[in-house]
Structure 1
Amino acid sequence: MNLKRLVFTSIILLSALQLQAQKKISGPLIHEYGETFTVPQPDLEVNTEAEYKVVFDISQAPEDPAALNPYFNTVARFLNMHGYTKVDKAQLKPVLVVHGSAAYGLLKHKFYKEKFGVDNPNLDLLNKLHALDIPVILCGQTAGARDISVEKRWGKTQVELSAMTALIHYQNLDYALISF
């Protein structure tokens, strides 16, 4: 009976220690966004010599217009996770291709507030991504369909003929696709 209790207690303690090992951290490349969890001993080791070219296909917005788009935040998580593993920033090459309802997240505060009644919660993060030379591409078809003119959108937005065109372009340049 005591042996069973000892084994059970040991399993519980080991599980608790393992859970404690994964703590939430912010940065190092984008502070205030993209918090990640530490992963002390991943089974698949991160190749710190590789180039991480990825195009994020972002088409959805949160239901609450006052909330940060979690898919924009995922790009910050991608950068921070790999930054902590000592992958050099120059080897991290994410691109955001934005369409669908997510496109409203590219509106300037004035126009976002007209539409939703609150300031755009995404602009600070978008500015931080821009400071790291991360392209943010808006689908031209979505811009037309949702009346997101050049005057209304965040000034660093790039526009492509369509999201499909941009996604094909980057995949032809060997970017991996991550789609939401």
Structure 2
Amino acid sequence: MRNFIRYILFCSLFFAAFQQTVSAQSADKKLTKKQARMQAKFEKLAIHPYIQTSLWTGVIPVKGITENIEVNMPYKLLFNVTIGPSDSSSAKTENSGFTEVGRVMNLHVASGMPAKNLEVVVLVHGPALFSLLKESNYKLRYNTTNSNLPLIEELQHNGVKFIACGQALTMLNLKMDELVSNVGLALSAQTMLSYYQLKGYVLYNEDKAD
């Protein structure tokens, strides 16, 4: 009975994340002129001091800053990414959870800290696991190329650790050999969330971006 309840809870969380993905992607299709102007302005102003593969990892320089971080201490960052592609149309764009990883890294480096002080772990579960598919598997599922691969490669090259949730893999009928290389496998993302936070990692959830 207890396992059945856990199964129901897992399914509820999974479909909640799925519905959030669909809603966000539906809204993105209605790009207004104002949003287009803001995007163009961002492209013009943004810099990429460390992670450079994606436009959306950019940082806008700010003059006259009076408050800043301590740049000579280690920063242990933990990202929880659950949102992924829902159809062939949404699969053509980068995973916003992954671009946020690069953006936060760039924000720290833009603040003056050495990149070597960053320790970054990315927990991937729910539909976000599809964004980790190898090119051949991604094309088979979505009939398009996986635009996440260059960013994933750059993040991994710069020490970012990706960990896949074993519970979600099983529920989604995915296998580790379908994913890109150098991805860790955990029993669950939930246990990794508690483990890394107890080790002093700062948690970044997808709905906390700013």
- TM score, norm. by length of structure 2: 0.71
1:89 corresponding residue in structure 2: 115
Q: CA RMSD in A?
A: 1.6
1:59-107 deviations in Å (ceiling 9; x for gaps): 0125511100011001111111111222011211121000011110011
SS in 2 for 1:93: strand
Measured in 2, the distance between the counterparts of 1:109 and 1:147 equals 18
Which structure features the higher share of helix residues?
2
Q: Identity rate of aligned residues, in percent?
A: 27
Q: Which runs of 5+ in 1 are unaligned?
A: 1-19
Cα distance in structure 2, aligned partners of 1:150 and 1:100: 14
Rg bigger for which structure?
1
How far the C-alpha of 1:112 sits from its partner, in A, is: 0.9
CA separation in 1, counterparts of 2:168 and 2:177?
Answer: 15
Match of 1:42 among 46, 65, 70: 65
Closer, same or farther: CA 177–67 of 1 in aligned 2, 3 Å: same
Superposed CA deviations along residues 145-169 of structure 1, whole A, max 9, x for unmatched, are 1122122111111111100011111
Equivalent residue letter for 1:44: E
Residue equivalent to 1:162: 188
Distance 2:200 2:158 in 1: 21
Q: Deviation string for 1:12-51 (max 9, x for gaps)?
A: xxxxxxxx9xx63232211132111112233532221232
CA distance in 1, matches of 2:113, 2:203: 20
Quote the Cα distance in structure 1 between the aligned partners of 2:53 and 2:102.
Answer: 9
Cα distance in structure 2, aligned partners of 1:138 and 1:178:
16
Q: Distance in 2 between matches of 1:161 and 1:41?
A: 46
Counterparts in 2 of 1:61 and 1:24: CA distance versus 1, 3 Å:
farther
Q: Which residue of 2 aligns with 1:111?
A: 137
Give the 5 Å matches for 1:135-150. 135-150=161-176
Describe the SS at the equivalent of 1:128. helix
Q: Give the counterpart of 1:126 among 152, 159, 164.
A: 152
Match of 1:27 among 44, 48, 54: 48
Contact 1:107 1:148 in 2 (8 A): no
1:52 aligns with 2:92: no
